[in-house]
Structure 1
Amino acid sequence: MADARAAIPGAATRCGIDTVEIARIERLLSETAPEDLHRFFTTQELDESGEGAGRAASLAARFAAKEACVKLFPREAALGEIEPGDFSVARDAYGAPRVALSPRATAVLAKNRIRDIALSLTHDRVSASSVALALADATEAPLSGRLIFRLLPFRRRVVLDNLRRVFGVGVADAEIERLAQAHYAHLWRLFIEFVRFRSMSERQKAARVKVDNVAVFTRALERGKGILVLTGHFGNWEVATVAGLSTFPQMRGRIHFVRRPIKPRWLDRFVNWRFQRAGFGVLPKRGSLDAILDRLAAGDAIVFPFDQHAGPPDGIEV
């Protein structure tokens, strides 16, 4: 279970400690060609360590910091998703050490909801040590999301379970709950945009959506064999699809969406009505194979959002 302190924004949730013998780094410096040192240290780290008697101690402290940072993420380290080279030590404007992250390290911190890593480095004549503290991130949940989460908990358990499945036990329950509240706030914004969309002019609607690679769709359409479009629910799906249709006026009535029913039923009927009114066809997820083949044979386009859950008997676990 995640540490309860992770519920406090900016609190230290994990601690990594490492110690390196300075003699080990002295051997590394004497036995390694200068150009090969970049396998262990960045150019900035090598420059800031200087060339004097304290060079080995300075680099030893930096190497200990890299190892301490890796120890914050034992699972990712074991899976080879992260290594000491993904962290480096830089200095802020006041000379205090700070962590510089590789793209891989940035992704690992985001996955674990870590905002930053605080470092402390020290050394004596024999060894250098470093302590790394992982500082928790905290999602800002708007008021609308907090209210919906508490008062209208539509599929709340599903949302929480899915978030826990994504982030695992390394993220505190309080942060998982804040992420869920932010999700509901996002849905509320989509709903408001969906309602306002009705009062927009065609020009305003077209201005809100950009369709890339139009030529690809047009060339496929010219072949007359039908088009199968695989996509996901990106952005405000109900708004983007209607606005995007204006790019292909010749396809009005010839683009069909495969949809699964949504709850409640009145909302499902309303969304279907909006799609059909905009010029789209709607095909049910189940029992529509013949209709899909007929539409493809007629040269129409079938849009299948592949991020929909497909359990047995429709889906096959792999």
Structure 2
Amino acid sequence: MFRPATALAMLLCSMIVTACGNSGGAVCTRDDECASGFCKADGTCGPADVDASVGGDAPLDGPSGLCTPNHDGTITMAELPLIPGKMATFRVATNATFDTAGVAAGTGMRRWDLSTQLSNDSDKPLALQSPSGQWWAASFPTATYATTLAAGSDLVGVFHVDAAQVTLLGVVSPQAGSFRTELEYDPPVKLLALPMTAGATWMSTSTVSGTAQGAIVAYTEKYSSLVDQVGTMKTPFGEFPVVRVATDLTRTSGFSTLLTKRTFAWTAECYGSVATVASQDFETSAEFNDPAEVRRLAP
């Protein structure tokens, strides 16, 4: 069955914004010294080929048509354009060892490192699909994009984006039919509230109903999110100044708790979520070192 925490992780992983050019490795002190518009935390220009397919309709943010990080600690929708056609590669590990607490980096900052090899690592492409022409399009007329939810599943999350938030509208199977999955969230789940800055919080409670592999289902999901840390995250793609979003999910049916899950997402200006970590089911610790899944941006 569809795992709701995966939707959050994949939503956050889907927020990929890139520039065009070839500036990887050049020494820099400011973003405008790099053709990519991104001076990494280690003082070198970030590569600019995460999403070479972006066309002329991509949102522009900067004097040269690039999204230029201003490192003001606040992430707006202009720094997270989510449009069909975006794509990137994430390195994914399951049941790996990683301490989500990271290490102290001074002045209230933390440092995390996911650049090394983890158990069961594999590279997975992630693409944002257009709702146009999809069998489920009429059921979700406000959809902005859709994307596959998990490496081991073909289920697709359907999302809406506006200036104030990103919401999950539903989950569907790639094909219609008697054994289709078509789940609707009422109201849609607020997965991100924007602008996003340290200390920001948001909550969402939704009734989930419809069919899952042809069977009728109904349950409730509650999401509670907090931008709880700031610092740097090192990935196989590079090192980024980030804010971390902690999200707790509780799924219930009547008086029964069916699932709890904790997810962290490390988000960078103009690159979106560069890493996500999902806990094991029913995790009770605020920080943990045995995640069920780890995703980080890869070349």
Higher helix content, 1 or 2: 1
Using CA pairs below 8 Å that are at least 6 residues apart, which structure has the higher relative contact order?
A: 2
Instruction: Please say which structure displays the higher CA radius of gyration.
Output: 1
Shorter-chain TM-score range: under 0.3
Higher strand content, 1 or 2: 2
Please report the TM-score for the alignment, with normalisation by the length of structure 1: 0.22
